[in-house]
Structure 1
Amino acid sequence: MPIATARRRSAQADYWPGFVDAMATLLLVFIFLLSIFVVAQFFLSREISGKDTVLNRLNLQIAELTELLALERTSSSDLSASLSAFQANLSDVELERDRLQGLLAVRVGAVDSADTQIVTLEGQLDKELSISQRALAQVELLNQQIAALRRQIGALEDALGVSESRDRESRTKIANLGRRLNVALAQRVQELSRYRSDFFGRLREILAGRSDIEIVGDRFVLPASVLFGSASDEINPEVRDELDKLADAIRQLEDEIPSEINWVIRVDGHTDVRPMASTSRFRSNWDLSAARAISVVRYMIDRGVSPQHLAAAGFGEFQPLDDAATEAAYARNRRIELKLTER
C-alpha cells in the first residue's frame, strides 16, 4: 500500500516538469510564429504599399488609356467617315478612269486613223507635187506657145489690116450675090408655084369626074376608100386608070421642070382615130398610113416616075381634117394626099 502511494506521488511529481517543458516549448513556438507573423506583416505591408503605388500608377495609365481610347474612337469615327468619303471618291475616280480609258481608246483609234490619213495624204501630196512639176513644165511650154501665138497674131493683125479693104470689097460682092440669089430663089419659087399650078390644073382635068376628090390648100386629097380596101394597103384595080393618068402627068412634069429645081411629089397617108383590129397585120394606124403611102409611091415608080421625085410619109390618125366622131368624119380623115413641094 505505501509502495503504491509512493509510486503515485512519484508519478505526479514527474508529470509537471514535462508539462512545463511542453508549455515552454509551446511558448517558444508561439513566439517564433509571432515573430514570423510580424516579419510577414512587415513585408506584407511593404508589398501592399508597393502594390498601392503600382495600382495608382495603373489607374492613372487606365485613365490615360481611357482618354486615348475615346480619342481613338473619335479618330476611328472620323476615319470611318473619311474612309466612306474616300471610297465614294474612289468609285467616282474609277468611273472617271473608265471614262478616260474609253476616251483614250477613241483617241487612240482617231490617232491611228489620222496616221493612216497622213500616210495617204503624203502619198497624194507626192503625186500632186509630181503633177505640179509636170504642170509647171506644161505652163512653161504653153507660155512659149502663147508668145509664138502672139507673134503670129501680130502678123495676122498686120495682114488683117491689109485684108479689111479686100473684105469690104468682098462684102459688097457678097451682098450683090445675096440679092441676086434671093432674086433667083424667088424666081425658082415662082417657077415652082407656076409648075404646081400647072400640075394642079392637069390633076383637075384628070380627076374632073371624081366628086369625092377635094383640094385642101396646096394638096390633092384622095379618099382611102377609093384607093384601098378596109385595113388594106393594096390598090384597088378600078382606080388604076386614074393613077396611070396621074403618073403620066408627073412624068410630063419631070420633063418640064428644069433640073436645077429640087422638087418632089410627097404622098402622105392618113387614117381615122379608131384602133386597128387585133387580127390586122398592121400594129397601128401609123403603120397602115405609111404602108398605103408607100404602095402609091411604088405604083408610080412602076409607071415610070423617077424615085427621086417621090416621097412617102405616114401620119396615122394625128393629122385629121375633121375632129368629129362620126362615120362621115372618119371617112374623110382616111385619105391619101399629094403635094408638090421643094425637096
Structure 2
Amino acid sequence: MALVKNRRRERGVDYWPGFVDALSTLLLAIMFLLTVFVLAQFILSREITGRDEVLTRLNSQIAELTQLLALEKGNAQDLEDTLANLQSSLSTSESERSRLQSLLDQGAGSSSTANTRIGQLTDQLNQEQQVSARAMNQIDLLNQQIAALRAQIAAVEEALQASEAKDQTSQTQIADLGRRLNVALAQRVQELNRYRSDFFGRLREILSDRENIRIVGDRFVFQSEVLFPVGGADLDEAGQAEMAKLATAVLELAREIPEEINWVLRVDGHTDASPLTGTGRYRDNWELSSARATSVVKYLISQGVPANRLVAAGFGEYQPIAEGDTPEVRNQNRRIELKLTER
C-alpha cells in the first residue's frame, strides 16, 4: 500500500513549470514576429527617408528659385525706377521745349539761339526715348523670366504636394500592415498553442504509464536507458515500442494542423558529463547525442512521419537539467527531449 501511494505521488504533475515555459515560448514567438514587423517598418522607413531626401532637394530648388525671383524683381524695380526718371526728364525736356518755343514766338531776335537749344533738346529727347525703349524691352524680358520662374515654382509645389500625399499613403499602409501583422501573430500563436496542447494531451494519455518519461515545461523527456543500450545509439525493442506510440500521436495530430502552420517536432539528444571511454563507435558525447537524436528521427520517418516535420539536434553534455555528479544526476541528464514548435 505504501508503494502505491509513493507511485501516485511520483505520478503527480506540476503544471506550473509547463505553464511558465509555454508562456516563454509564446513570448519568444511574439518577439520573433515583432522583429519581422520592425524589419518591415525599417524597410518602409528607408523608402520614406529616400522620399524625404527628394523633398529636401525640391525645397532647396524652391529656395534657389525664390532667391532668383527676388533678384529679378529687384532688377525690374531698378529698371522701372530708371524708366520713371527718364519719363520725368522727358517731361522736363518737353516743358523746356514749350517754353523755348514760346520765347521764339515772342521775339524773332532770339530765334537762332532758340532753334539751337531746341535741336539740342530734341537730340536729348531722342536719346532718352531710345533709352526708355531699351528699358521697356528689358522689363518685358524680366516679366517673361518672372512668369517662367512662377511656372517652375508652381510645378515644384505640385510635385511637393504629390510627394506629401504619397508619404501620407505610405504611413497609412504601415499602420495597416502593423495592425494586420499583430492580428496574424495572435492567430498563429493561438493556433500553435492549441495544437501543441492537443499533442501533449495525447502523449500524456499514451505514455502516462511509464515512470521513466517526464514532462518538463513544453517538452517530453525520455531517459536514454528507456530507448537505447548503454553507450549505443540504436533503438532497442522497448525504445521502438515507445517511438511507435509517439509516431501514432504525431500522425494523428498532423492531419488536423492546417498546412499554413509550419510546425516541426524537434528531437534533442543529451548526455551526461562523463567522457566516453574505450574504442567505441563514438568519439565523444557530441557524436553520441547527435546519433541518438538522428536514430529517433529515422525511426519516426520509418513509421510514416513526414521527414520535413522532424529536426534532430545533439547537445552533448552542455544542456543539463540537473547539476552535480551523482549517479542520479547523470541518469537525469542522459535523455531524449521532444518539443513541438514552429519553424
In structure 2, what is the equivalent of residue 223 of structure 1? 223
Task: State whether residues 221 and 335 of structure 1, in contact with CA within 8 Å, keep that contact through their aligned partners in structure 2.
Answer: yes
Partner of 2:264: 264
How far apart are residue 164 of structure 1 and its match? Answer: 2.5
1:1-24 superposed Cα distances (whole Å, 9 cap, x missing partner): xxxxxxxxxxxxxxxxxxxxxxxx
2:250 aligned residue:
250
Q: Deviation string for 1:271-307 (max 9, x for gaps)?
A: 0000011311111101100000000001111111111
SS in 1 for 2:255: helix
Contact 1:214 1:222 in 2 (8 A): yes
Structure 2 counterparts to residues 1-343 of structure 1, below 5 A: 154=58, 159=159, 161-343=161-343
Deviation string for 1:163-192 (max 9, x for gaps)?
231221232122122112111111111110
One-letter amino acid matched to 1:330: R
- Which portions of structure 1, spanning 4 or more consecutive aligned residues, are displaced by more than 6 angstroms? none
Return 5+ residue gaps in structure 2 as ranges.
1-53, 62-155
Greater relative contact order: 1 or 2 (C-alpha under 8 angstroms, separation 6 or more)?
A: 2
Q: Which secondary structure does the structure 2 equivalent of 1:269 belong to?
A: strand
Larger radius of gyration: 1
User: Does the CA contact (< 8 Å) of 2:228 and 2:239 recur in 1?
Assistant: no
- RMSD across aligned positions (CA): 2.4
> Which residue identity lines up with residue 318 of structure 2 in the other structure?
F
Structure 2 contact 233–288 (Cα < 8 Å) conserved: yes
Q: CA deviation at 1:262?
A: 1.4
Q: Post-superposition shift, 1:154?
A: 4.6
Shift of 1:161: 4.7
Identity of aligned residues (%): 58
Bigger Cα displacement from structure 2, 294-303 vs 170-179: 170-179
Q: Distance in 2 between matches of 1:161 and 1:276?
A: 74
- What CA distance in whole angstroms lies between the structure 2 residues aligned with 1:336 and 1:156? 67
Measured in 1, the distance between the counterparts of 2:247 and 2:322 equals 29
Looking at structure 2, the residues matched to 244 and 281 of structure 1 have their Cα atoms a distance apart, in angstroms, of 26
SS at match of 1:341: strand
AA matched with 2:316: G
CA displacement at 1:217 relative to structure 2: 0.8
User: Matches of 1:176 and 1:257 in 2, distance apart?
Assistant: 28
Are the counterparts in 1 of residues 58 and 160 from structure 2 also a CA contact under 8 Å? no
> How many pairs does the alignment contain?
195
Deviation at 1:261, TM superposition (A): 1.0
After superposition, what is the alpha-carbon deviation per residue over 1:187-206, rounded to whole angstroms, capped at 9, x for unaligned?
11111011101000000011
Distance, in Å, in 2 between the alignment partners of 1:297 and 1:153 is 60
